[in-house]
Structure 1
Amino acid sequence: MYTHILISTDGSELAQNGVDHGLSLAKALGSKITIITATEAFPIPTGVAAWGVTPGDIARYSADCAKASETLLASIKAQAEKLGIVADTIHVSDGRAATAILETAKNAACNLIVMASHGRRGVKRLLLGSQTAEVLANSQIPVLVVR
């Protein structure tokens, strides 16, 4: 049924619920998994605050994101391998999570996306956005949302 599952994470406790569910499903189905995390580009301030941003600040931010993502993905990959699951990892830097998830699912030929959702509604969802809602609205494959 689902032979290649894309599991997304941002490293939060809530996202770990989605990871755990995705790993359990992959184990039960004998599926391969790809684990993805995405980090946004350095937020460039405008106006006077922008004068304080140096290329070094941006480079440090990128390096910190890459290191944190590597640690996160290695931990989940080890968790998967303990369960006997074949796992690949992908870190997409300087990108929106929803776009990265959708593109990776397509490029890796995944046939299910598993992700967690905060379940925000109303103004909070409008102000904070919803990567999950964007994936749901634009995915060509099934999406399993864990809350």
Structure 2
Amino acid sequence: MYERILVATDGSPLSDKAVSHALSIAKMNQATLIALKVVPRYPRSYLEGGATVDPSEIKRIEAQWTEQAQAVLNKIKTDGKAIGVTVKTSVAKSDLIAESIISAAAKQNADLIVMASHGRKGLKRLLLGSETQHVLTHSEVPVLVLR
């Protein structure tokens, strides 16, 4: 049924649950799993919420974030290999998380997107928004949301 499954992760425990389910679905369907972690860009100006920081320091911080993201993805790759699932990894650098997930799913020809819901409610959800909700409402690829 599914040949290419994209799982979006942020490395949180709830996200790990989504990864575990995605690995199981990929194994059942003999599908390839594409593990994606979106890394934000460091705020470049005071107006973006960042302090004035030397550009070389910004590059170092962003490189560190990318390295940490790759470590999360490498663990997924190792877990997939242990159960016989081919896992491809991708780090996207963007402040637009939902758009990056949708774009990666289209680019990778994914049949399914798997992601976690962080369960924000009330005012927190209104103020912070929901990347999951955005993916659900804008993706042309089916989305499985785990709580």
TM-score (norm 1): 0.93
Aligned to 1:101: 101
1:94-117 per-position Cα deviation (integer Å, ceiling 9, x unaligned): 332211110010010001000001
Kept in 2: contact 1:42–1:94 (CA 8 A) = no
Quick one: distance in 2 between partners of 1:91 and 1:135?
18
Kept in 2: contact 1:37–1:97 (CA 8 A) = no
Kept in 1: contact 2:45–2:52 (CA 8 A) = no
What runs of 5+ residues in structure 2 fail to find an aligned partner? none
What runs of 5+ residues in structure 1 fail to find an aligned partner? none
Report matched runs for 1:70-109 at 5 Å.
70-109=70-109
Q: Which amino acid aligns with 1:108?
A: Q
Aligned to 1:11: 11
Tell me how far 1:45 sits from its aligned partner.
4.2
TM-score (norm 2): 0.93
Quick one: distance in 1 between partners of 2:9 and 2:50?
30
Tell me how far 1:56 sits from its aligned partner.
2.1
How many residues get paired? Answer: 146
1:66 and 2:56 correspond: no
Change (3 A) 1:25 1:60: same
Q: Which amino acid aligns with 2:2?
A: Y
Change (3 A) 1:127 1:82: same
- Percentage of identical aligned residues: 38
